[in-house]
Amino acid sequence: MLSSRVFRGSEALMAAAKAARASAATSSGAAATKPRAPSRNTGILKVIPVSPSMRKFLGVSEASRTDAVKKVWEYIKLNNLQNPSNKREIRCDEKLKTIFDGKETVGFLEIAKLLSPHFVKTD
């Protein structure tokens, strides 16, 4: 009985909100189909020069941070370098040691931090 008194007027409010959403969707429909301007690559998506050791690892002289992390993960997966008992730990081979400061093992959360010095700051 109490719930019927509390929610009695909500049907009208819900119908009004639904109508407002529908009209907003149709009025902005033309804008939604307009092609977007290409976004500028900034931040971690910006392609910048890399250090010589990273250049040797990636095979390119410039890369974005996201691409570098992706390539490192591809290499880790391809060479089965994750610790099977603890998937969060990466066992470094000689090639990975060159970019991870000679560490034997690296936590997966450390990868981005260890790659950071390999990106040359350009101002």
- 84: domain CATH number? 1.10.245.10
Asked if the structure places residue 123 within a domain, the reply is no
Residues 25 and 49 in one domain: no
Indicate whether 66 and 85 sit together in one domain: yes
52: domain range?
43-118
64 and 97 in a single domain? The answer is yes
**26 and 62 together in one domain:** no
**Cβ–Cβ < 8 Å for 81, 93:** yes
Q: Is the pLDDT of residue 24 over 80?
A: no
Q: How many CB atoms lie within 10 A of CB 63?
A: 23
Q: What is the mean pLDDT of residues 2-17?
A: 64
Residues 114, 54, single domain; the answer is: yes
- What are 73's two structure tokens? 């993960």
Out of 10-24, 73-87, 94-108, which region has the weakest mean confidence (pLDDT)? 10-24
Cα–Cα distance between 77 and 69 in angstroms, integer? 12
Note if the pTM is more than 0.75.
no
